[in-house]
Copies of this chain bind each other. A is one copy, B any other.
Amino acid sequence: MNGAQALFKALTDAGVTTCFANPGTSEMQLVYEIGLTANVRPILCLQEDVVTGAADGYARMKGSPAVTLLHVGSGFANGIAMLHNAGRANTPVINVVGANASYHQPNYPEHELINGRVIDLARVVSHWTREARSASELGELGAEATVLAKAGKICTIVAPTNFHWEEAAPPPIPAALHRPMASPDAITHAANMLANGKKTGLVLGNLALRGDPLEIAGRIAAKTNAELLSETFPSFSLARGEGRPIVEIIPYFLETGLEFLKDFEQLIFVGALSPVVTFAYRNKPTLKSEPRCALFTMASADQDLLAALESLAKATGSTAAETMRRTRRSTAVPTGELTAEAIGQTLCALMPENAILVDEAATNGSKIFAATEGARSHDFLSPVNGGAIGGGLPMALGAAIACPDRKIILVQADGSGMYTVQALWSMAREKADIVAIILKNDAYAVLGLEMARVREGELNAKMESMLDLKNPALDWVNIALGLGVSASRAKTAADFYGVFASALETKGPTLIECQVAIPNELAAFAEFINKSR
């Protein structure tokens, strides 16, 4: 067997079935071997952030490694932003990056970077990065990557072309790797905190927000009177809707976060990080919790969170407690103007059981999130847990490939959506079962707000030109049609309800462009922020 075959044998031996790909010349041997490998489905994407973002979405929903195929330094670089989100989520992703033949790299052909090598880029956004030094090592690295990825590591294999075609030994079968356990002292300390009578938030993150761990956390909360909180952007996926344990998300903005957390005396983190603000502002705190609030990390995202919560449930005698759950909320058909709230109400009414809601709605997200609390049981995916925007469309694509029998609903802000608009083409090609709802407000609306933190007075036209998406307005219907996705435009709340209802009846991708105004509250909030500079 050659090195390419050894690599894909290692990956498929470990259960890999899907490869999100944007190959170039240096990946032709790999493409050829994928073509001969029965167990791997390749998904071509037209830009690399779509590749890595889709891999992230796929792996989060599948719970097992996604593989990407990327082309040298520039191709890898194009996928870094979405890979960063995956890395901050400890998503199991294995990147295979073709590189110049080892003996050709010193010749400095076009693709060689001016001040380093592919691996220098890869290392910064991967937990584990290796460049193969032989054909056999390609197989060995593939095997090692599968066990590391399953433990929540981003693994990147740089694969020089000569090792693709040279003779290789069959890959080894790697020993399984288990996630580390939280320390017993940490469990005891958390249990003692939960018994001390103080107002406590049990802040869950990553895998703790999914099915079983969340159920256990719900019992602990019920028994100890702690409140279940979620990290601001659930970094893996969040089980929510009818029948799911009640969890409140710590709000994004400093001001709303401070207000939300102001009464908490202690926060215990399970798979979540401290509630630091995304960006520091002049003369403002960087933590959303009060200085007097005690912060304790019981388990980090890369540890075994299910085992940690089971131990905590035992230590607090919560194993049989009765969890507080969301109930179904019935909503009337919304009427009037098309707003984020109306869209949320429609989703709440119509989203089918077991749907996957992908949220990159940015400033419109919180209203849709609030309105869908009482929807039928669903999984919620947030692509912005690492702050990099543009993950919505790729993540929806990946989730659809992972879960072909589930409906994917994407709420997507227009500005963010434009970074990875190429994902629509892959959705069309793969007949991915997605309803993509574009919230079009013709602006980077969040920046209007953030600008309020620094501006001395009103904005001038030049400043505004860097914050809005007008002149020309984007026409998402045409863009979608151009990329092969059927699309329509909803103008009123009732209109949207009807279009969305029919979209749910159709299998395959559909896009609905929704013109939504920037809400008055946001403008009021901007004024408040500007005054409190």
Contacts and interface: CB of A to CB of B under 8 A. Distances in A.
A450 B101 CA distance: 15
Interface in A476-494: 476-484
A447 interface: yes
A114 B104 contact: no
Interface string A113-126: 11111001101111
A406 interface: no
A179 B476 CA distance: 48
Give the size category of A's interface with B.
Answer: 35 or more
A277 B109 contact: yes
Contact of A46 (B103, B280, B419): B419
Given A451-B28, A466-B42, A481-B475, A47 B419 contact: yes
A77 interface: yes
A271 interface: no
A286 B35 contact: no
A32 B455 contact: yes
Contacts of A193: none
A272 to B, nearest CB: 12
A211 interface: no
A233 B454 contact: no
A449 to B, nearest CB: 9
A75 interface: yes
A474 B482 contact: yes
A476 to B, nearest CB: 7
Interface in A22-42: 23-26, 28-29, 31-32, 34-36, 42
A453 B80 contact: no
Given A75-B81, A477-B482, A482-B482, A101 B280 contact: yes
Given A74-B84, A276-B109, A280-B103, A421 B419 contact: no
Contact of A429 (B154, B447, B472): B472
A47 B419 CA distance: 5
A273 interface: yes
A532 interface: no
A416 to B, nearest CB: 10
Interface in A1-50: 21, 23-26, 28-29, 31-32, 34-36, 42, 44, 46-47, 49
A178 to B, nearest CB: 21
A156 B274 CA distance: 31
Contact of A273 (B25, B36, B108, B390): B108
Contacts of A460: 35-36
A531 interface: no
A21 to B, nearest CB: 6
28 contacts: A24-B447, A31-B463, A32-B451, A32-B454, A32-B463, A47-B390, A74-B389, A77-B81, A78-B80, A84-B114, A87-B113, A88-B110, A101-B279, A101-B280, A103-B286, A104-B276, A108-B276, A109-B278, A109-B286, A110-B384, A110-B387, A113-B124, A120-B123, A421-B421, A421-B422, A425-B474, A429-B471, A474-B483
